[in-house]
Amino acid sequence: MDEKTIKQLVMAQRDYVTSMRREFHEYPEISGKEVHTRSLLIRELTRMGVDYTLLEGTGLIAVIKGSRPGRQLLLRADIDALPVQEDRMNLKQEKQCISHIPGVCHACGHDAHMAVLLGTMQALVHVRHELAGNVICCFEEGEETNCGIATMMKALENYHVDECFALHVYNGLEAGKVNIVPGPRMAGTIGIGIYLHGKSGHGSRPDQAVSTIIPAAHIVTALNSAFMNQLNVEETVTLGLGILSAGTATNVIPDQAYIGGTARFFDSQEGEKALQIINTITEHIAAAFHCTVTYEDRHNISPKAVVNDPRVTARIRRGMVQFGGQDYLGDCGRWFASECYSAYLDRYPGALGLLGIRNDTLGSGAAHHNGKFDIDESALPLGVLAELSFIFGE
């Protein structure tokens, strides 16, 4: 595939990806409830004449079959929105479109992910006669809550996949740039969900009770100290405790306390080490205060860090330069948010690209998961270019 043809394919999708992004944006659905969203995807796939398989839940897998044997390549887009009330204004002006569903909006850019992948698929359909191998297109439900990843990975056991690629729009990178580099790109998550169990009692006689508040307080301070002193300072691991709850009355010592939060990491060994530190400190302090411990199901590492394969990354970058030019490649730091796309990279060699959407003039660039979040739609064709570079790049 030559540079001129690729550029023509990309530009031909500009209006389509914009219109689809707006349609998805106006009718968002939260994780695991993306029924209308999937109906829109089915409508478009049927119009394109692309075969698809519906998964249990709301996800689906579509396959574009090439005209001759070749690589089996996978592209992925997530499809869910967030339980966030959208602000009509972005950072500077009124948005081009807003959610029509109160309390729900695409405040992370999954509407753009779907639109870009549909644009890429439409382009591939036009040049199917030049496509070697197959392109497996995954539309994954529930990324925000990780409720769809197990179903998707189970379904993919029925497919052979050589390499995978996905995009995530990113407010930390200017529009007109895409960041595709090797190594860690998004953080893994340690879910922290700790229950301390003691013995309730009257506030006037703490000696007759087994307080859970005091060991909970010790655990919180000990975790902060341990993270500072026991983890490799060259491998960043963050600790974010968001909940410390116990008791409902001032004169009653509660028999249960809860500590909840997350830790984020990029190096898998440090992540495992951090989880062990959390458990060791929790269990030893609890025992010292005669309490017992149970953990929530979410108290584990999930998802893992997103780590790009060097070989796949280099191939996509060469394709970007070949088909679009060096100027489209941009630099940005690692993103501390987490992504269950790491499950794909744990199974297949692949990469995640960060697609810039920040435009200070337009007012796009608010934080993800924020009511003012908005994207510069001019960035969408660059996403199609990146995905086509993955498909046709050498």
Closest CA to 251 of 296, 302, 200: 200
Provide the β-strand partners of residue 291.
none
The pLDDT tens digits of the residues spanning 283-341 come to 999 999 999 999 999 999 999 999 999 999 999 999 999 999 999 999 999 999 999 99
73 and 64 Cβ atoms separated by less than 8 Å? no
228 touches 240 (CB < 8 A): no
**What structural domains and CATH numbers belong to the chain?**
3-185+305-392 (3.40.630.10), 188-295 (3.30.70.360)
Whole-Å CA distances, 43 to 26, 39, 78, 205? 17, 6, 17, 67
Distance CA 209, CA 35 (A): 51
The structure tokens 């995905």 sit at: 387
Contacting residues for 12 by C-beta, under 8 A, at least 6 apart: 123, 126
Under a CB-based contact definition with an 8 Å cutoff, are residues 215 and 289 in contact?
A: yes
Q: What value does the CA radius of gyration of the chain take, rounded to a whole number of Å?
A: 23
Torsion (CA) 8, 11, 15, 18 in degrees, nearest 10: 130
Q: Number of C-alpha atoms within 13 angstroms, CB side, residue 392?
A: 25
What pLDDT score was predicted for residue 337?
96
Question: In terms of C-beta density within 10 A (0-12 exposed, 13-18 middle, 19 or more buried), how is residue 202 classed?
Answer: exposed
- Residue 323 in contact with residue 7, Cβ under 8 Å? yes
Q: Which of 391, 382, 291, 370 is nearest to 13 (CA)?
A: 382
376 DSSP 8-state letter: -
pLDDT of residue 394: 87
Q: What is the pLDDT of residues 173-225, one digit of tens each?
A: 999 999 999 999 999 999 999 999 999 999 999 999 999 999 999 999 999 99
Three-state SS at 138? strand
Please give the Cα distance from 365 to 95 (Å, whole number).
12
The pTM score is 0.95
pLDDT at position 13 is: 98
Kindly give the parts of the chain with pLDDT less than 70. Answer: none
